[in-house]
Amino acid sequence: MNVKEELEKRLTAAVLAYAKIPILIGPKWLCEGPKKGKLSFQYQGAPKVAKALGRNLERTVHGILKNLDLSDLNFEARSSADGVIHIFEKKTKEEQKVKEEKKESSKDDES
């Protein structure tokens, strides 16, 4: 399975579910993100969708994220203030544990 192609399909479905009208969705709106070591992507189409629909950018991003199902792909999505949706691999339980341990040790160092 090509992850990028699958994400493009799911983002297209999410946009169409939110907009409820057919919208031409650009193929280059999803590009690889800057995270190193893990798969990450950036969806840059939300501002264009908001403009095409004449809707608020924040509302459009929220609507797209609400309709975007990534549960079976082990990815999560977050948005930035400029409307870019960042999609990245979820951290494993081990990675989360290491992060929490580092956080706790830095608190201990401050005391």
Q: What is the pLDDT of residue 62?
A: 96
Q: CA 60 → CA 26, 38, 94, 106, distances in Å?
A: 16, 27, 34, 38
Domain count, the chain: 1
Between residues 110 and 77, the one the model is more confident about: 77
Q: What is the pLDDT of residue 100?
A: 72
**Residue 74 is part of a domain; what is its CATH number?**
3.30.1360.70
**Residue 7 has which token pair?**
């994400």
From the list 4, 43, 57, 46, the residue with the least C-alpha distance to 23 is 46
Q: Which residue do the tokens 């930035």 mark?
A: 80
Q: Which residues contact 107 (CB under 8 A, 6 or more apart)?
A: none
Supply the DSSP symbol for 36: S
The residue-averaged pLDDT of 52-58 equals 93
Mean pLDDT over each residue of the chain, to the nearest integer: 85
- pLDDT per position as a tens digit, 5-41: 999 999 999 999 999 887 777 778 899 887 677 789 9
**Domain boundaries, position 99:** 3-110
